[in-house]
């Protein structure tokens, strides 16, 4: 599971919401045949189970009392047959229901995941990863509970209850009515118990969440506690919170400790009624011994369905809460969508134009102000600027991760909003500063699911970034596992791997956010060489942190506080003695000092 946020208290709402339920049931529609079959099987299974006491009654009255050994054998055989049949029906029913639950779970999970692939990036900025992961994983699992053990089982419980009542009435309606006297008591006891326990558990959950939040917070702040000598005070606070939880738990014990004996007493009362009143009936020859035994056995079967039904309430309640969260996510519309009349795909020559582009993540807080520049095909452009100058936002716009508010961005004269994002992105290559390595093997990390990249091309890409030998010798080959988030590769090697990725995809326009992290000189040289290979024959926009990259650039764009402040070649910009000059002194002179010793 993901990192738990213990502050998030589980908030439970209504147990039933018709609107949500109807929408949930649409997921069951494709499997209605199976579900109907399950209900029929359930009906059969429950009725067969109820036949068993009837068999006992027949056995006693017709054969036992009359001393018929063969008849006894026959009825026992029939009993065995019914047992077996009930077993098969029940097994099939449970299997089918649970299987449907799984299928529904698959469908919903895939729907959420696919939907996430369509949502705009701003959505991901707003929602923490953990929360979204929970939607796809845990929330769906809760729904599975409802489909596989909730819905159909409710039918089963109701059928069983009705079956028992009918059977009792059929045998002897007077005796049946007498035993029904305790039924309201039983239902009442169950309802009261459930209600009390539910209320207490709500409180338990709140107090537990509080305790967990307290522990988590103080584990995180342990150094502060120790430095400020607060161990005793915090410990007494902790005991207080711990005690509050205990208090609730202890309170709940009374309900359990009362409920179970009460059920036993009620069942004893019904047995007593059966014995006394049934005995009177037997004396009056209005009831047989077998029927009395059947009565006793049937009445025992009352308790399970009633208890079950009340448990279903909890399942229903949490599935309502989960489905509400899921539907809210599914109802979030993607904000960046292709226009219907997008033009046909073409191969970019690589001319990029920014015209008066204005952009803000949040209304009123402009991150980019009136940016205009042009990149000619084949040109290499370096973007420099201090942190927060707007460099990353600039390249995010080019990929249409976000839509800008004003101006236009054109590639080969065509506005990027007028082309399908797929086509746009297929022509652009992106290397991020913080290289993202997927779990899986080396090949998978370069191909990223594009099966049309041949093994040749893959090896070629690795060779061009000087990673081939490493992968083959030390890395364990192309199909060796790269650990999650690149634990087995050094920072420099991760960069090289991401270069190989771009080379394999071979885009016409390359967008690169150079890594700032320092690597050793040998790796630096490798990266330098690989970078040269990467830039060959491509239009490139580079957020530059390396002096060499900047010196080689055809054009340097200087960003400052969201504005394009200076533009030109390295020498020209230095002569201006403006922002670039100072940035150069700050960032690159240091590098120069280090490089020359």
Partner 1 sequence: MPEEKIKFKERFRIIFKHLPKYRRYLAWGVVAVISANCLMLINPYLLKNAFDKLENKAPSGEILSIALLIVGLAVSSGVFRFAMRRSIIWMSRKLEYDLRAELFSHLQKLNPTFYQNNKTGDIMARATNDIEAVRMMIGPGMMHIGNAVVSTLIAISFMLFLSPKLTLYSLIPLPIMSIVANRLMMIIHRRFMKIQEYFGILTSRVQENIAGIRVVRAYNQEEAEIDDFSGHTGKYIHLNMRLIKVESLFYPILFMIAGSVNLMVLYFGGRSVIGGEISLGTLVAFFAYLTLLIWPMIAMGWVVSLYQRGTASLDRINRILNSKPEVLSQPDSIKDIDVKGKIEFRNLNFSYNGTKVLHNINLTIKPGETVGVVGPTASGKSTLISLIGRLYPVPWGQLYVDDIDINKWDLHTLRRQIGFVPQEPFLFSDTIVGNIMFGINNRKNEIAEKAASLSVIDKEVEEFPDGYETVLGERGITLSGGQKQRLTIARAIAIDPRILILDDATSSVDTETEHQINYRLQSEINKRTSIIISHRASAVKTADLIIYMENGTIAESGSHEQLMDLNGAYARLYRMQLIEEELKRM
User: What is residue 433's three-state secondary structure?
Assistant: coil
Site residue total, partner 1 (CB under 8 A): 139
Which is closer to partner 1, CB of 116 or CB of 321? 116
**CB-based contact 515:491 (threshold 8 Å):** yes
Least distance from C-beta 545 to partner 1, angstroms? 16
String marking each residue 107-146 x if it binds partner 1 according to CB under 8 A: --xx--xx-xxx--x--x----x--xx--xx---x-----
Least distance from C-beta 473 to partner 1, angstroms? 27
Give the separation between CA 399 and CA 509, rounded to whole angstroms: 11
DSSP-based helix, strand, coil % in the chain, nearest 5:
65, 10, 25
Considering only residues 364, 413, 449, 597, which one is a binding residue for partner 1 as defined by CB under 8 A? 449
Residue that has been written with the tokens 């491509």 in this structure: 538
Contacts of 480 (CB under 8 A, 6+ apart): 441, 442, 471
- Tokens matching residue 323: 């489905």
Which is closer to partner 1, CB of 148 or CB of 319? 148
Which is closer to partner 1, CB of 361 or CB of 436? 436
Least distance from C-beta 16 to partner 1, angstroms? 26
**CB-based contact 133:57 (threshold 8 Å):** no
Residue that has been written with the tokens 């004893």 in this structure: 268
Considering only residues 560, 564, 573, 588, which one is a binding residue for partner 1 as defined by CB under 8 A? 560
Binding to partner 1 in span 462-501, by CB under 8 A: 484, 501
Considering only residues 145, 399, 410, 591, which one is a binding residue for partner 1 as defined by CB under 8 A? 399
Give the separation between CA 174 and CA 282, rounded to whole angstroms: 13
Considering only residues 462, 486, 583, 588, which one is a binding residue for partner 1 as defined by CB under 8 A? 583
Considering only residues 95, 170, 173, 361, which one is a binding residue for partner 1 as defined by CB under 8 A? 95
Segment lying near partner 1 (by CB under 8 A), choices 312-320, 363-371, 420-428, 533-541: 420-428
**CB-based contact 255:193 (threshold 8 Å):** yes
Which is closer to partner 1, CB of 125 or CB of 469? 125
438 belongs to the binding site for partner 1 (CB under 8 A): yes
Closest CA relative to residue 31, chosen from 106, 141, 113: 106
Considering only residues 42, 54, 105, 151, which one is a binding residue for partner 1 as defined by CB under 8 A? 105
Angle formed at CA 126 by CA 403 and CA 512, multiple of 5 degrees: 55
String marking each residue 50-79 x if it binds partner 1 according to CB under 8 A: --x--xx--xx--xxx-xxx--xx-xx--x
Binding to partner 1 in span 180-219, by CB under 8 A: 208, 212-213, 215-219
- Tokens matching residue 211: 């305790």
Label residue 551 exposed, middle or buried (CB < 10 Å: 0-12, 13-18, 19+): middle
Label residue 469 exposed, middle or buried (CB < 10 Å: 0-12, 13-18, 19+): exposed
Least distance from C-beta 87 to partner 1, angstroms? 4
Considering only residues 198, 202, 417, 425, which one is a binding residue for partner 1 as defined by CB under 8 A? 425
Considering only residues 37, 43, 99, 169, which one is a binding residue for partner 1 as defined by CB under 8 A? 99
Considering only residues 226, 356, 479, 516, which one is a binding residue for partner 1 as defined by CB under 8 A? 226
Which is closer to partner 1, CB of 25 or CB of 268? 268
Which is closer to partner 1, CB of 16 or CB of 95? 95
Contacts of 556 (CB under 8 A, 6+ apart): 381, 382, 383, 384, 544, 550, 566, 567, 568, 569, 570, 573, 580
Considering only residues 450, 473, 571, 577, which one is a binding residue for partner 1 as defined by CB under 8 A? 450
Which is closer to partner 1, CB of 43 or CB of 83? 83
String marking each residue 241-280 x if it binds partner 1 according to CB under 8 A: -xx-xx--xx--xx-xxx-xxx-xx-xxx-xxx-xx--xx
328 belongs to the binding site for partner 1 (CB under 8 A): no
String marking each residue 18-47 x if it binds partner 1 according to CB under 8 A: ------------------------------
3-state secondary structure 291-328: HHHHHHHHHHCCHHHHHHHHHHHHHHHHHHHHHHHHHH
Least distance from C-beta 291 to partner 1, angstroms? 12
Which is closer to partner 1, CB of 231 or CB of 572? 231
**CB-based contact 98:17 (threshold 8 Å):** no
Least distance from C-beta 116 to partner 1, angstroms? 7
- Tokens matching residue 139: 């929330």
The length of the chain is 597
CB atoms within 10 A of CB 285: 7
Cα distances (Å, whole numbers) of residue 282 to 295, 387, 520: 13, 95, 99
String marking each residue 143-182 x if it binds partner 1 according to CB under 8 A: ----------------------------------------
Give the separation between CA 189 and CA 193, rounded to whole angstroms: 6
Considering only residues 103, 325, 349, 529, which one is a binding residue for partner 1 as defined by CB under 8 A? 103
85 belongs to the binding site for partner 1 (CB under 8 A): no
Alpha-helical segments (H) within 119-181: 121-126, 129-134, 140-145, 151-171, 173-180
């Amino acid at each position: 599971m993901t990192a738990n946020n213990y502050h998030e208290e589980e908030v439970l709402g209504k147990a039933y919401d018709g609107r949500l339920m109807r929408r949930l049931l649409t997921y069951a529609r494709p499997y209605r045949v199976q579900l109907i079959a399950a209900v029929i099987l359930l009906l059969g299974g429950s009725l067969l189970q109820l036949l068993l006491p009837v068999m006992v009654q027949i056995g006693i009255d017709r054969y036992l009392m009359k001393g018929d050994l063969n008849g006894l054998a026959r009825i026992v055989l029939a009993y065995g047959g019914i047992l077996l049949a009930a077993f098969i029906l029940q097994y099939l029913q449970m299997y089918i229901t649970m299987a449907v639950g799984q299928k529904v779970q698959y469908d919903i999970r895939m729907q959420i995941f696919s939907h996430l692939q369509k949502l705009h990036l701003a959505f991901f900025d707003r929602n923490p990863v953990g929360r979204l992961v929970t939607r796809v994983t845990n929330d769906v699992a809760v729904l599975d509970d409802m489909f596989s053990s909730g819905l159909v089982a409710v039918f089963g419980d109701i059928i069983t209850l009705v079956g028992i009542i009918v059977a009792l009435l059929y045998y002897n309606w007077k005796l049946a009515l007498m035993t029904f006297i305790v039924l309201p008591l039983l239902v009442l006891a169950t309802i009261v118990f459930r209600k009390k326990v539910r209320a207490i558990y709500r409180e338990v959950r709140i107090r537990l969440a509080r305790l967990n939040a307290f522990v988590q917070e103080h584990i995180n702040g342990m150094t502060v506690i120790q430095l400020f000598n607060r161990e005793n005070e915090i410990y007494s606070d902790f005991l207080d919170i711990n005690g509050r939880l205990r208090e609730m738990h202890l309170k709940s014990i009374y309900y359990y400790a009362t409920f179970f004996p009460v059920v036993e007493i009620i069942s004893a009362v019904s047995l007593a009624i059966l014995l006394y009143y049934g005995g009177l009936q037997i004396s009056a020859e209005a009831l047989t011994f077998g029927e009395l035994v059947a009565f006793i056995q049937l009445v025992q079967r009352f308790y399970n369905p009633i208890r079950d039904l009340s448990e279903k309430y909890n399942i229903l309640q949490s599935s309502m809460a989960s489905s509400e969260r899921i539907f809210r996510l599914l109802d979030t519309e993607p904000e960046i969508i292709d226009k219907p009349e997008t033009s046909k795909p073409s191969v970019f020559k690589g001319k990029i134009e920014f015209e008066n582009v204005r952009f803000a993540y949040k209304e009123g807080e402009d991150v980019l102000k009136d940016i205009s520049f042009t990149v000619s095909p084949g040109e290499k452009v370096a973007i420099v600027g201090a942190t927060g100058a707007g460099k990353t936002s600039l390249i995010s716009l080019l990929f249409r991760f976000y839509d800008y508010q004003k101006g236009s961005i054109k590639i080969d004269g065509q506005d990027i909003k007028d082309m399908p994002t797929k086509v746009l992105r297929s022509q652009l290559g992106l290397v991020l500063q913080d290289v993202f390595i997927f779990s899986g093997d080396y090949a998978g990390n370069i191909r990223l699911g594009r099966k049309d990249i041949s093994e040749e091309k893959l090896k070629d890409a690795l060779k061009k970034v000087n990673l081939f030998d490493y992968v083959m010798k030390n890395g364990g080959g192309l199909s060796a596992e790269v650990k999650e988030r690149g634990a087995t590769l050094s920072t420099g090697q991760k960069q090289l791997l991401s270069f190989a990725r771009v080379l394999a995809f071979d885009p016409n326009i390359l967008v690169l956010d150079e890594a700032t992290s320092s690597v050793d000189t040998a790796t630096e040289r490798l990266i330098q060489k690989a970078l040269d290979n990467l830039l060959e024959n491509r239009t490139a926009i580079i957020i530059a942190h390396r002096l060499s990259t900047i010196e080689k650039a055809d054009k340097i764009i200087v960003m400052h506080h969201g504005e394009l402040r200076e533009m030109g070649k390295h020498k020209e910009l230095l002569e201006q003695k403006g922002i670039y000059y100072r940035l150069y002194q700050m960032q690159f002179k240091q590098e120069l000092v280090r490089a020359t010793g």
